[in-house]
């Protein structure tokens, strides 16, 4: 299966071998790993009063703070292996349990405590709570979404309090998951920060991903179609995607370290 990059004016180009890691990169990784700190539980308050549970993965000197949002049927446990890797690569991260989720990767504490069931859009206040918390850290912020939350990050990126703080968006299997089938594309059209979008190897996911990233006004936008990819952030999980996780990590880290050198 082919891989493509969309950069600037939606120019498609094939990606080939992963870049080599030289001694300088290896030393930088060792230095970043030394700054990793113990994960911490956090409790946030959504704008509508719902308590949002999460786990913060600190770094003593982070390149950026990455907000990690999970897919449907899932929880912050989706990032139990991903977030520590991001820490070692020089980033801090916050993974939250959204009120729309499940126990695919472990218990979803927010959903268990929530009084009312809701649709995908109903989880947006949970993402807003994470953004408000992150802004107080005074670090560049990355919005990272998986499946339905990969669509919500484009809506969140347009929020008034996101302006100036959010420096990049990463969307793993975004799509038009809401009743308005042009909502995500319309939100993407207002996004000008660097964008990384990827999908599973299906024509439907690839098409949705391409339409959304193409709608952005960013001059730094990348569409990555992996040789071996699965739905959402699970594409980076070696247990879920043993044939493709390593190569997909290479693409993700190349984007992050270019935007946050």
187-239 tens-digit pLDDT:
999 999 999 999 999 999 999 999 999 999 999 999 999 999 999 999 999 99
Query: pLDDT value at position 33?
Result: 56
Between 2.170.8.10, 3.40.50.1820, 3.30.450.30, 3.30.70.580, what CATH number should domain 4-12+20-259 receive? 3.40.50.1820
The tens digit of pLDDT for each residue in 6-18 reads 444 343 333 433 4
Sheet with 221-224: list strands edge to edge.
Answer: 40-45, 51-57, 92-96, 65-68, 141-146, 166-172, 195-198, 221-224
- Give me the pLDDT at residue 254, please: 98
Distance CA 197, CA 69 (A): 14
**The predicted structure's pLDDT at residue 135:** 94
SS3 234: helix
Sorted by where each begins, the domain ranges of the chain are 4-12+20-259
User: pLDDT tens digits, residue range 245-256?
Assistant: 999 999 999 999
Quote the mean pLDDT of the chain: 88
Q: In the prediction, which pLDDT does 234 show? A: 97
**Please, which residues have CB within 8 angstroms of residue 146's CB and are 6 or more apart in sequence?**
69, 70, 71, 74, 78, 172, 173, 232, 233, 234
Q: What is the pLDDT of residue 37?
A: 82
Condensed to tens digits (0 to 9), the pLDDT of residues 118-146 reads 899 999 999 999 999 999 999 999 999 99
Which residues lie closer than 8 Å to 81 by C-beta, 6 or more apart? 237, 238
118 vs 76 pLDDT, higher one: 76
- Among 27-31, 67-71, 207-211, the range scoring the smallest mean pLDDT is 27-31
Question: Is the Cα torsion angle 63, 79, 8, 164 positive or negative in sign?
Answer: negative
Tell me the pLDDT band of 164, cut-offs 50, 70 and 90. Answer: confident
Structure confidence at residue 20 (pLDDT): 46
Tell me the C-alpha distance between 123 and 149, whole Å: 8
Distance CA 41, CA 84 (A): 14
């Amino acid at each position: 299966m082919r891989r493509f990059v969309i950069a600037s004016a939606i120019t498609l180009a094939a990606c080939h071998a992963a870049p080599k890691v030289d001694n300088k990169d290896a030393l930088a990784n060792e230095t970043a790993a030394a700054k990793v700190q113990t994960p911490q539980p956090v409790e946030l308050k959504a704008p509508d009063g719902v308590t949002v549970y999460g786990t913060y993965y600190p770094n003593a000197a982070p390149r950026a703070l990455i907000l990690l949002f999970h897919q449907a049927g899932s929880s912050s446990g989706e990032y139990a292996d991903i977030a520590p890797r991001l820490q070692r690569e020089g980033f801090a991260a916050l993974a939250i349990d959204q009120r729309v989720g499940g126990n695919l990767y472990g218990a979803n504490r927010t959903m268990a405590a929530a009084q009312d069931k809701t649709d995908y859009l109903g989880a947006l206040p949970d993402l807003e709570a994470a953004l408000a918390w992150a802004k107080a850290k005074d670090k560049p912020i990355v919005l990272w979404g998986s499946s339905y939350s990969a669509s919500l990050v484009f809506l969140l990126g347009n929020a008034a309090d996101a302006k100036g703080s959010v420096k990049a968006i990463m969307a793993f299997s975004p799509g038009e998951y809401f009743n308005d089938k042009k909502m995500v594309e319309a939100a993407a059209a207002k996004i000008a920060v660097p964008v990384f979008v990827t999908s599973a190897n299906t024509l439907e996911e690839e098409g949705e991903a391409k339409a959304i990233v193409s709608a952005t006004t960013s001059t730094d936008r990348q569409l990555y179609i992996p040789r071996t990819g699965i739905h959402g952030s699970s594409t980076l999980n070696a247990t879920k995607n043993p044939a493709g996780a390593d190569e997909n990590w290479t693409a993700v880290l190349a984007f992050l370290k270019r935007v946050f050198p």
